[in-house]
Amino acid sequence: MAKSAFTEVIIELIRAIPPGTVSTYGRIAEMAGSPRAARQVVRVLHTYSETESLPWHRVINRDGKIALLSSEQRNAQRELLEKEGVEFDTSGRIDLDTYLWQPDDDWDLDNDLTIDSICRS
DNA sequence: CACATGACGAGGG
DNA sequence: ACCCTCGCCATGT
């Protein structure tokens, strides 16, 4: 099936999260233009993490916690983040004030998409 | 068209 | 801060 524009935008936003930073499901949904569609971000991660090589580990929940279900997966995600320099507190939380991705003022999704499509062609 | 899905989020106790 | 309930919504079937 063809990906919807909405799905494409979510994919690009996840791709844009720089190493060593994180974002949240709700934040990505908001940036994609649908503030209450956090669960769609979950769906995209489920569906495209592998096929689109997404940095899935950089997406956490609004509490700054890893949201995966199994402990094996949680450990894997934590290791990937720690490898990028992201720190966890004693209760396994990430300080969002420190690590939440804050796009630069000149960061622009359309421009990013353009650059990406140029590289792809 | 009806219904299920889901790594969520806000709010209240 | 933790726990629970309920609302959410693009997609797939």
Q: Quote the pLDDT of residue A108.
A: 76
Within A34-119, strands assigned E span 59-60
Give the separation between CA A27 and CA A78, rounded to whole angstroms. Answer: 20
Does the pLDDT at position A2 exceed 90? Answer: no
Task: Name the nucleotide nearest A10; use CA and C1'.
Answer: C10
Interval A49-103: pLDDT, tens: 999 999 999 999 999 999 999 999 999 999 999 999 999 999 999 999 999 999 8
pTM metric for this prediction: 0.90
CA of A99 to C1' of C10 (A): 28
Give the CA-to-C1' distance from A5 to C3 in angstroms: 37
Q: Pick the residue with more confidence: A89 or A120? A: A89
> From the CA of A44, how many Å to the C1' of C13?
18
Task: Estimate in Å the CA A79 to C1' C8 gap, whole number.
Answer: 31
Does the pLDDT value for residue A121 go beyond 70? no
**B6 closest protein residue (CA to C1'):** A39
The pLDDT assigned to A119 comes to: 39
Q: How many CB atoms lie within 10 A of CB A12?
A: 17
A40 Cβ nearer than 7 Å to chain C strand: yes
pLDDT reported for residue A114: 52
Q: What is the pLDDT of residues A18-39, one digit of tens each?
A: 999 999 999 999 999 999 999 9
CB A120 within 8 A of CB A114: no
